[in-house]
Structure 1
Amino acid sequence: MSRQHYIINDETMYIIAKTNGRYTESTVGELYGEPISCLSIPNKILEHNCKYHFQTYASRKDLTRSLSGIRSKHPIILDLFGSYVYFCTHSDRVMENSWFNLRYIDSYYDYNGNTKVKFENNEELEIDISYSSFNNQYLNAVKLHYKFNLAKEKTYRKDESAKFSYEHQQQEMQYINEAARETYLKYMRGIDQINKV
């Protein structure tokens, strides 16, 4: 049985495009259990999940550009806390584009001109993309993840006055929220600049 929509969660490892007759649908792999069939294409699932996290897909791409300078095949941070970083195999204009959660990639290697990906749960998939292209997309996602965490850390370092563990935990949450807020405000200022032109 296939679903119409899929909500990405902590255990989502990949969203792979699959052809079903004249249509392109998705197979979603989670850390545990059997793969899930979804009637939407992978790009639509990502777009829907960006909205689920109160952002548009376009704004997530803009965030990637502003943080990392990546200009094409953008990896995406779905949430404002940087928990979900996904990278794609092709341009988002291609229906056969697939998405991978950076967190669950254990290893990958060249396999007959394609790429074989091994996930944290020992599942393996052969992906129709060259090793060099997959490696480039993976490294772009790592770069985005690093740049986002660097921005969080800079915000965190603004005030290191917490001395007690309870106060420290409270301030840590505040700093994470402030980092997310500053990233969002930076994005909005960029939109304002575009609108002024």
Structure 2
Amino acid sequence: MTRQQYIMNDETMYIVAKPNGRYVESSIAELYGDPILCLKSPNKIIEYNCKYHSQNYVSRKDLTKGLTDIRAKHPIIVDLFASYIYFCTHSDRVMENSWFNLKYIKRYYEYRGMTKVIFENNEELKVDISYSSFNNQYLNAVRLYYKFTLEKEKYYKKSHNQTITYEQFQTDESHEVNYINEAARAAYKKYMRGIDELNSLI
């Protein structure tokens, strides 16, 4: 199955680069079913899906920076409601960059100078990246998930004073929208403070 574009969903496991002559396309795997071929590069699919979920890719990167202070190869929260967190193999300036959904990584290990990844459905994939690099990117994504969860819990405690359960908060869209606005605002302020500090040193 070949598509012009792809909407990521809760079962999307990875989007890997598939060179095709002068172009880079994508091979996409979901938890169930056959692989999907998309004519867009993995980076373009990520950018499209960030816009699909109401913010552009740059804003998502800024949110990651504000929450984690990660400065390169940023993991991305594609959908703030479902918390789809993806991490990349290379800089987003590289067309052959690939993206992996954190929650479907079962384990991974060094394999002939590359990394072999085992997913939750027991699919195996060889990734042309060193184990140390893959491990670093994976841990950055875990860090983002942890920081994002902490911010969500702090906002819940601050705003609701235990009047509703955290589970109710997670399923109530109005509360989620308030959290997203608050988290994005706090991350942006932190990001701009860092810029101001750098400018003061110049």
TM over 0.5: yes
RMSD of equivalent CA atoms: 2.4
* 8 Å contact from structure 2 (residues 4, 40) kept in 1: yes
Aligned to 2:119: 119
Identity score, percent: 62
> Letter of the aligned partner of 1:101 in structure 2?
N
Q: Does 1:64 find its partner at 2:60? A: no
How far is 1:79 from its partner? 1.8
* 8 Å contact from structure 1 (residues 162, 171) kept in 2: no
> Letter of the aligned partner of 1:185 in structure 2?
R
Equivalent residue of 2:148, what SS? helix
Question: 1:60-99 counterparts in 2 under 5 A?
Answer: 60-81=60-81, 83-99=83-99
Q: Number of aligned pairs?
A: 194
Which portions of structure 1, spanning 4 or more consecutive aligned residues, are displaced by more than 3 angstroms?
174-177, 187-195
Question: 1:29-178 counterparts in 2 under 5 A?
Answer: 29-81=29-81, 83-158=83-158, 159-162=160-163, 169=168, 173=172, 175-178=175-178
TM-score by length of 1: 0.89
> Letter of the aligned partner of 1:60 in structure 2?
R
State how far apart, in whole Å, the 2-side matches of 1:26 and 1:73 are: 19
Q: 1:3 to 1:176 in 2, by over 3 A?
A: same
**Over residues 68-114 of structure 1, what are the superposed CA-to-partner deviations in whole Å (9 max), with x where a residue is unaligned?**
00000000001223520000000000010000000100000000000
State how far apart, in whole Å, the 2-side matches of 1:9 and 1:18 are: 20
State how far apart, in whole Å, the 2-side matches of 1:168 and 1:133 are: 35
Unaligned residue ranges in structure 1 (runs of 5+): none
> Letter of the aligned partner of 1:128 in structure 2?
D
* 8 Å contact from structure 1 (residues 15, 28) kept in 2: yes
* 8 Å contact from structure 1 (residues 82, 148) kept in 2: no
How far is 1:187 from its partner? 4.5
Q: Mean Cα displacement is larger for which, 40-49 or 81-90? A: 81-90
* 8 Å contact from structure 2 (residues 62, 188) kept in 1: no
Q: 1:190 to 1:56 in 2, by over 3 A?
A: farther
TM-score by length of 2: 0.87
